[in-house]
A and B are shown apart, each in its own frame.
Chain A
C-alpha cells in the first residue's frame, strides 16, 4: 500500500531527527546535528534491506517516489517564502560578505574534488537535454 511507503519515509525522518537531537544535546548545542542526513542514510539502508528480500512492492515504492518527485515543487515554494527583501535591504556589508562566502565556497569545490578518478564520474547524461529521466516524467505530470 502507498501509505506503507509514506510511513516508512516518515519513520526514517522521525528516527533520524531524534538521533540528531540526541547528538546535538551530547555536544551541548541546541541544534539538531544532521538529523536529516541520518534519516537519509536510514532510508537507504532500510529500503535496501527490504528490496533485497523482495518486500518492497511497487505501491510502497510509489509512496516514497511521490515525495521524491515533489522535491522540486517544494523547493520552488521554499524559494517563494524566502526573506529576499531583508537580504537586499541589509546594505553593502551583508551583500559583500554573502557574495564572498559563496564565491570562496564554490571556488573550493574543484580544489577539494581533486582529479576526477573513476569514483568521480559524472552522472550519465540525462535522456533529454534539459531534464534527467526521473524528473522528466515528473515535470510532464505537473
Chain B
C-alpha cells in the first residue's frame, strides 16, 4: 500500500510538488496572519520553510538539490528549476512600464559593475584574512562570493584544489540563501520600496535565485525590476572572471604554465562535469583587457578579431 502510494507520487512528481508548495504556502500565510499579525510577509515565511526543508532534505539524502532529492518531493526540482523559474520571472514583467526601467537604467548598470567588483573584493579579503596566500585560492574563493556559478568555473580554470572549489561554491550558496532571508528584513532600512532601488539591488546582489526570492518576500511588485538587472549579473560576472583568471599569471613574470600549481594545461584542468569554455584554451596569455575587446578574437584567432554580427 505504502509502496504504491510512493511510486504514484513519484510518477506524478510535478503534481505532487504543486500540492506540497500549496500546502506550505497555506501554512506560511496562516502563520503570518496569526503569529506575526502580518508583520512578517507570508511569502517570506514560505521561503524560510522551503530553505529549512531543503536543509533537512540535504542532510538526510546527502544530495545537492535540497528536499527535491527525496523521492517523494522530486517534482520540486522541476517546479523550482531554472526553466519554470525564468518563465515566471519573465511573466512578472507583464504590465511593467518601460519608463520606470529606463529611468533607473544607468544606475542599474553602475550597480551591476559595482556589485561584481564589491563581492569579488569581499571574497578576496576574507580569503586573505583566513590565511590563504595562493592567488589561485584567493581568486577562486572571491569568484565564489560573486556567484556560485562562476566560482567553480574559475577554480577549474585556474587548477584550484577541490576543497577550495567546494569552499567557493559554499560561499556563493551562503550569499544566495542569506539574500533570501536578509532582504525582507532590511528592505525598509535600505529603502527597497521603489523600482529604482529594486533595479540597483538586483545589480548589486546579482544571484538570480537570491534576488528572485528576496524580492518575492519583500514586495512581489518589485520582482521584475530587480530580476531585470540580476539576470545580466552572471553573464557580466563571467566577463569579469575572464579578467580575474589572468590575474595570478599577470602578477608573476614566469611563464603562465609554470605558475600553475597542478601543472595541467588549462583545457584539461576542468574537473569532470565542469563546463570548459572554448575561450579558456587561450587563457594564460589572455591580457587583462575588458572582455568587450579581444576575447572573441582570442577564441577565433587573430583573423576574426571583429566577430561577424548575426543581424
Residues of chain A touching chain B, judged by Cβ–Cβ distance below 8 Å, are 9-10, 12-13, 16, 20, 22-37, 39-41, 43-45, 47-48, 61, 64-68, 70-102, 104-110, 112-114, 116, 119-123, 126, 128-132, 134-135, 139, 142
B273 within 8 A of A: no
Whether the Cβ atoms of B119 and A105 lie closer than 8 Å is yes
Whether the Cβ atoms of B127 and A93 lie closer than 8 Å is yes
Q: Given the interface contacts A37-B228, A40-B93, A109-B191, does A81 sit within 8 Å of B196 by beta carbon?
A: no
Contact with A along B63-74 (1 / 0, CB 8 A): 011111000010
B267 within 8 A of A: no
Count class of interface residues, chain B: 35 or more
Contact with A along B208-229 (1 / 0, CB 8 A): 1100110010011111100111
Residues in chain B near residue A134, CB distance under 8 A:
220-221
Whether the Cβ atoms of A97 and B127 lie closer than 8 Å is yes
Chain B 93-108 interface residues, beta-carbon cutoff 8 Å to A:
93-98, 101, 103-104, 107
Cα distance A32–B73 when bound, in Å? Answer: 29
Cα distance A90–B173 when bound, in Å? Answer: 9
Cα distance A109–B110 when bound, in Å? Answer: 11
Total CB contacts across the A-B interface at under 8 A: 397
Among the 9-residue stretches B4-12, B79-87, B246-254, B255-263, the one with 4 or more Cβ atoms under 8 Å from chain A is B79-87
Contact with A along B21-53 (1 / 0, CB 8 A): 110111011001100001001110011111101
Cα distance A126–B222 when bound, in Å? Answer: 12
Q: Offer 11 A-B interface pairs, CB within 8 angstroms, sorted by A.
A: A45-B98, A65-B91, A76-B28, A76-B47, A77-B50, A78-B81, A81-B67, A82-B54, A82-B209, A87-B177, A107-B190
Which residue from A61, A72, A100 sits with its C-beta under 8 Å from B216?
A72
Whether the Cβ atoms of A98 and B173 lie closer than 8 Å is yes
Which residue from A23, A25, A26, A91 sits with its C-beta under 8 Å from B170?
A91
Which residue from B89, B176, B204, B236 sits with its C-beta under 8 Å from A82?
B176
